[in-house]
Structure 1
């Protein structure tokens, strides 16, 4: 497989002089094209900080992040914004939907910002709404639909641009078990059929068991790594064991 993301000696320091805190401490690893990778670790381990730096939301203090052979740590904000819209997708725990926009408007927002042709937008919307069963709520507003529906809308918005890379930060954290399972099965489907590269931060072993590889971090460092080479049930048990070894996985 080809390397799609390279995290090269990345370090993130907050604060100044005598009040400095190292959130990520000289981490290096790669993610291959088409992988589904999870990031786990105890509260304060640096999981979200790492995801934010890899997804262009934040910049490392030292080191480099390369996505598809492009060093995003060297980009200015304008170029980062363009790269983010065209190449990356994001799913957040709190959905980040705009309450003033309809569900349809929320989903097509990334395409509208890139001034995509209206006919193309409508075709992409029809396809994604059908896949995620959103057709009956497109005219509603976010505060008029359920939590599970809001998450599906957030997923639709994230993948309508057909991004090469999808980042998810605790995507099942606000969902009940049924909705969480449906979302995870869909993400697995996207990963396997569309070969989309996925990286997901989670504290939940069940959620993580859908990944193909888990990187565990603790105190800003890589603690361990495990790969799924058997059933999902077996992988789930490996995750539980590693959480016990690292000192728990809850946030």
Structure 2
């Protein structure tokens, strides 16, 4: 398999040398192209810090992050901005949709910035809308959408650039169980049929059960790994057991 993400000796520390707190401590792991990987751990484990570094929002104190063979921690701001826009998709809990734009225009926005041909933009939006089941929402504004619909629009905006990696930070945190299950099914289909690599932070075992592999971190270090080998329900139970071992989380949702 081809490594799409390769994290080497990642450390993030705050404070001075004499009074230093390490949020991430010499963390190393890799993700293969086409994987759907979850990151879990108790509160304060370093999940959000790790996601921020992997998605190029912040820099590590030490270590490197390779995405598609390129060390993003060494890129200059202009290079990093281009890389973010063309190679990475983001799905966050708070959607970040623009209220003055329709669903279609919210999804189109990253393509318009890159000044792609209109026909190419239209085709991409159509494909994404069909995949996410939101074609009938194209002319609506965010305040006319349900929470679940907003999150699918946000997912469409992430997918439309055809990124190498999609980063999802608690994407179901604001959703009811039905909307969460719908979004996760769409992400799983995207991962399966288009081989899009997805890295998702979650605290919820039900959400995590849609992944192929879960990396557990605790106190900023790698704690354990759970790989899906059977049914999703069996994987869900494995995740529950590991959460009990590591000390954190619970059955927010259940089958």
Structure 1 length normalisation: TM-score?
0.96
Q: How far apart in 2 are the matches of 1:122 and 1:3?
A: 31
Structure 1: tracts of 5 or more residues without a match: none
RMSD: 1.4
Q: Distance in 1 between matches of 2:152 and 2:4?
A: 26
In structure 1, the residue matched to 2:246 is 246
TM-superposition CA deviations, 1:181-215 (whole Å, max 9, x none): 11111111111111111100000001101111100
* 1:45 paired residue number: 45
1:204 paired to 2:204: yes
Structure 2 equivalent of residue 144 of structure 1: 144
Deviation string 1:48-95 (CA, Å, 9 cap, x unpaired) is 111111111111110000011111110011101101111111100111
Return the alpha-carbon distance in structure 2 between the equivalents of residues 88 and 32 of structure 1: 15
CA distance in 2 between counterparts of 1:218 and 1:120 reads 44
Rounded Cα–Cα distance in structure 2 between residues aligned with 1:16 and 1:100: 44
Residues 93 and 172 in structure 1, CA contact (< 8 A), matched pair in contact too: yes
Instruction: Give structure 1 regions of 4+ aligned residues with deviation exceeding 4 angstroms.
Output: none
Offset, 1:19: 5.1
Confirm whether residue 54 of structure 1 aligns to residue 54 of structure 2. Answer: yes
Which deviates the most, 129-138 or 189-198?
A: 129-138
Residues 118-139 of structure 1: per-residue CA shift (max 9 Å, x gap): 1211121122222223233222
Are 1:40 and 1:249, in contact at CA under 8 Å, matched by a contact in 2? Answer: no
The CA distance in 1 between the partners of 2:218 and 2:32, in whole Å, is 23
Corresponding pairs, count:
251
| Alignment match, 2:23 | 23
What is the correspondence of 1:87-236 to structure 2 with a 5 Å cutoff? 87-236=87-236
Distance of aligned partners of 1:143 and 1:16 in 2 relative to their CA distance in 1, 3 Å threshold = farther
Residues in 1 aligned to 2:140 and 2:241: alpha-carbon distance in whole angstroms: 44
What TM-score does the superposition give when structure 2 sets the normalisation length? 0.94
Task: Return the offset for 1:100.
Answer: 2.5
- Looking at structure 2, the residues matched to 135 and 213 of structure 1 have their Cα atoms a distance apart, in angstroms, of 31
